Structure 1
Amino acid sequence: MSAETGTGAASTTEGTRTIGRARTLLLAVVCGAAVANIYYAQPLLHTIGEAFGVGDGTAGLLVTASQVGYATALALLVPLGDLLERRRLVSVLLAASAVSLALAAGAPSFALLAAAVALVGVTSAVAQIAVPLAASLAGDHERGRVVGTVMSGLLLGILGARTIAGFVAEVGGWRWVFGVAAGVMVLLAVVVRFGLPRITPTESTTYPRLLRSVLGLVRREPELRRRMALAAVGMGCFTILWTAIDFLLSAPPYGYGPAIVGLFGLAGLAGAAMAPLAGRLADRGHGTVVVTVGLVVLLASWALLGLGGASIVALIAGVVVLDLAQQSLQISHQSVIYALAPQARSRVTTAFVTSAFLGGTLASAAVSLVYPAWGWTGVCVLGAAVAVLGLGIWFLPRT
């Protein structure tokens, strides 16, 4: 049971209360802005390396630092959303993110910058606390749509971070990217503190027991395990595409520069438009159809992407289709898992997102092996194989 108090709460029952459009959009912005913090450094690695006199390989460790910080927080920090009051937790983490970003902006050495970026990764996990917060504020009749809208913000943050970082760095330098992001975090921390109602914690246990209970949920809920596996498949396909597409676009026959390559992230933003629709379908009981169609479309996207090795039109179409499929699948999965254990939505999120993160990590490693040996065609075969695996998981008999 998740009770809410505060001005503007329509009801304390999940079936009749409503979150409201303004709060939904606020949490979407929080998710997008927080997760974008992890990706700002990616298009700036060469510039940062030159500033500190280190090579591209060393500069690339900034990405590793942020991902390690984020993964650590997924496992150890996100479950606190069930133990602590979520509004306060979100606002505190946003403030901590602002401090981490400010440290990155003013870092006098590469080592200190890497440490600050790792802290940015840790605090950016607030995005995964905001999603179950939105689910708890929403009524049963609107939860899928609300989660879909909030997840749209998260996808916009992931795909738009590169473009934003490039433009800001072009105008004011790379330090300005982190500085501006710090200012955004401060603003959001204040708005969340005064713009959202208080959410009563759903657990009153110790922190070690809270962490152990995540594994207990995974053991007890077969549907959660299945959705976790499908989350790994979807994020695997997403990561395969966005890891390898830079290699493709930078080489013949395209030979694009970093600025144009970064703009391809905008093609993926179409997936953000699909999220609310997928959420509405889930609210109306059509989640099974969404997953089935989504997995088939995910597989079909790799055929388009395969043609994209020689056709820019096919490549863009494939990017759009894959992101539409992945976003639809993600929303459908989350609508189901949040209904499995309403009192443990943060811990369910930990299990689900950690599985997705693991799938993305394995996919990224696979691309590093496949692309040098078999090129773009091999990457597309790998992506199609992962999508087929997803179909197999979906159609296996339920236990």
Structure 2
Amino acid sequence: MSEKHAKPNFSLAQATDMLKSLYDLTTSQIHTLPSYDDQNFYVLSTNGKEYVLKIMNSEDSKNQSLIEVQTFAMSFLNENGIPAQTATPTVTGQLMSLEELDCGYGHQKYLVRLLSYLPGKTISKVPLTPQLLFETGKMAAKMDKILQKMDHPYIRELDRDGFIWSLSNLLVLEKYLYVLDGEPLQEVVKSVIDLYKTTVVPSYPRFRKCINHGDFNDLNVLVQPDNNGCHKICGILDFGDMNSGFYINELAITIMYMMIEHPNPIEVGGAVLAGWESELPLNEAERDCLYILVVGRFCQSLVLAHYSVLMHPENEEYLMTTSRKGISILRDIWKLGKQHVEKVWFDSAVQFCNSKLDGTFNS
């Protein structure tokens, strides 16, 4: 976000008033939820239903067409068997409402939506077994395949040229590198960007295009126990980073964030890759660029978290959660190198698939 005060900071009383005026709901419980650059509230209404009140930051609220596509995508996925949230209409029948309010920074306009509440724990809170990682890769691929079938009058809004969180726009990081001045990893980030220029960019024509969720991370995937004492995916959150990209980008993003939560990060790639390829086998160009795209996402997370802390020092703990864990992983897998890491991932993906086929797999 470009504006220092773009993130909303509404009180519980203001959120309660919004719920009453926009949705005719009375709350019995309400509290804030963690968020990156929007504001989210958990809501239990007196009718017994649970919701998430989502108030977009003032910058993103300026693009209603984009938010409309994202809201439609959530419903489209839900209708096609993917556990995504859906929006509740206002009393006037709208799926979102642009409200001009003051939350401490003067009157600004904020887009407000009331989303269904999905129960479950974030995947970051449970053991990442090979089977759960396989299911995560499979779910990410299924999701993108369904999104590719979606049509909407504003679908071109997802092109999002220059969007800093799109993995296709990694080169945008160059203008933010100053936030790492004095950090040892600044040189690693520069080297990754150079490798991206020479390896990934020339491969664009051979990548398969799609619509990416764009943030399939350890806090946006919900799980709950199944009947076998394991966990299954029961929810996918936060479609705010949706963009037109490539299938391989989604896989790289998924691997990177699952690595953050695993005690042996390098082991993650094989199981996620096996799950992904059970839906969407990679072509040669995609396979050759997977490692660079994964380290590229680590670089995005590192640089943009540092930048966001400059804008919002009061939110440093949340903003740096992923980045702090990612620093050592990025350092380690960069040191191991492309050839070594790819061999681990691709060999273990084959072993994983073989063990599932012959029944020797143990989750």
User: TM over 0.5: same fold?
Assistant: no
Compute the TM-score of the two structures, normalised by the length of structure 1: 0.25
Compute the TM-score of the two structures, normalised by the length of structure 2: 0.27
More helix by share: 1
Q: RCO (CA 8 Å, sep 6+): is it higher in 1 or 2?
A: 1
